[in-house]
């Protein structure tokens, strides 16, 4: 907003910026839009959640099915985030540091979960692991349940949250190049030493940022999880699914109370994200070419 307040003092950018009324108008439109579509709904969630008072709020959240949904959401995220952390680092390492055939294809594939509707990704798991699915009969024979059970929910969560870590650190890895790794190898460091002492410190903020976004998506996912969950209360309901069920049963206050947990999570994510972004900017000053 600094540009708006330049007032009458001589502005070095004068002639490059719009006249004041237009700047005010544009700013007002942007702020108004943000207020209407983001701030108001967020406030509404918390107002509705606390409409019947603090004790009703606590009751809604401590209700066994809500607690079960919370546990399941945390479990799914606790498995999906580390899995995607490993996958993301491996994929980004391969893409950022090496040249190979099919690199573009790999980058495109990583983006697939962004491009595909979550409902369709859920359907794919039904098609693969469901009773009538390709692997269904074999799974039935061996008494393994994936769809309409926790493994299906975890798989769907991994699938939809999988691009975040890789996407965040690929640019960082490409920007830092592989010279520092080469220097480490020449100095006698092994593969693991090179990774933990040189590569990881360089990507840590990007990595953390990716993990935060990945976690937010893993906990908030609705579509894909909804398809594979089967909506068994207290067993296969995650927080977002539980909110929907409560809402459909006209338990508005309870629905909003549970929703406020998710909203609170989103706010925490935003704060963490801002801190990490700030640290990233500070640590990304390049060392390579340099004016003397």
The Cα–Cα gap between 214 and 235 comes to 24
Task: Compare residues 21 and 102 and give the one whose CB is closer to another protein.
Answer: 102
Task: Compare residues 27 and 179 and give the one whose CB is closer to another protein.
Answer: 179
Task: Compare residues 202 and 226 and give the one whose CB is closer to another protein.
Answer: 202
Minimum distance from CB of 286 to another protein (Å)?
8
Task: Compare residues 115 and 186 and give the one whose CB is closer to another protein.
Answer: 186
Minimum distance from CB of 97 to another protein (Å)?
13
Minimum distance from CB of 22 to another protein (Å)?
40
Task: Compare residues 68 and 198 and give the one whose CB is closer to another protein.
Answer: 198
The Cα–Cα gap between 58 and 230 comes to 27
- Would you tell me which residues interact with another protein (CB under 8 A)? 179-180, 182-190, 193, 197-198, 201-202, 283, 285-290, 292
Task: Compare residues 73 and 176 and give the one whose CB is closer to another protein.
Answer: 176
Measure Cα distances from 82 to 30, 170, 208, 212 in Å: 37, 18, 12, 11
Residue 197 is given by DSSP the state I
Minimum distance from CB of 140 to another protein (Å)?
51
Minimum distance from CB of 3 to another protein (Å)?
29
Measure Cα distances from 240 to 43, 113, 205, 206, 254 in Å: 18, 19, 29, 28, 13
Measure Cα distances from 88 to 81, 83, 159, 164 in Å: 10, 8, 12, 8
Most distant pair of Cα atoms in the chain: their distance: 80
The Cα–Cα gap between 65 and 198 comes to 46
Instruction: Using alpha carbons, select from 136, 65, 131, 118 the residue that is nearest to residue 226.
Output: 118
Minimum distance from CB of 98 to another protein (Å)?
14
């Amino acid at each position: 907003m600094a540009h708006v307040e330049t007032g009458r003092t001589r502005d070095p950018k004068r002639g490059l910026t719009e006249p004041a009324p237009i700047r005010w108008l544009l700013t007002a439109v942007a702020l108004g839009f943000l207020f209407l579509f983001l701030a108001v709904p967020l406030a509404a969630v918390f107002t509705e959640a606390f409409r019947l008072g603090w004790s009703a709020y606590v009751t809604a959240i401590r209700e066994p099915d809500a607690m079960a949904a919370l546990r399941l959401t945390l479990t799914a995220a606790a498995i999906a985030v580390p899995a995607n952390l490993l996958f993301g680092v491996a994929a980004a390492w391969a893409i950022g540091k090496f040249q190979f055939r099919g690199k573009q294809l790999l980058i495109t594939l990583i983006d697939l979960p962004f491009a595909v509707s979550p409902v369709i990704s859920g359907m794919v798991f039904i098609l693969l692991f469901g009773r009538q699915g390709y692997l269904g009969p074999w799974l039935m024979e061996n008494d393994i349940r994936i769809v309409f059970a926790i493994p299906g929910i975890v798989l769907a969560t991994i699938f939809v949250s999988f691009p975040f870590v890789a996407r965040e650190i690929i640019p960082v890895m490409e920007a830092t190049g592989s010279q520092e790794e080469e220097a480490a190898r020449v100095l006698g460091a092994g593969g693991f030493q090179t990774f933990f002492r040189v590569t990881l410190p360089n990507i840590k903020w990007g990595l953390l940022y990716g993990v935060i976004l990945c976690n937010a998506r893993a906990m908030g996912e609705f579509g894909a999880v909804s398809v594979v969950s089967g909506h068994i209360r207290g067993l296969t309901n995650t927080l977002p699914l539980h909110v929907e069920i409560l809402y459909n049963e006209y338990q508005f206050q309870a629905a909003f109370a549970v929703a406020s947990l998710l909203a609170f999570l989103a706010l925490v994510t935003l704060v963490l994200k801002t801190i990490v972004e700030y640290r990233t900017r500070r640590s990304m000053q390049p060392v390579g070419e340099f004016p003397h």
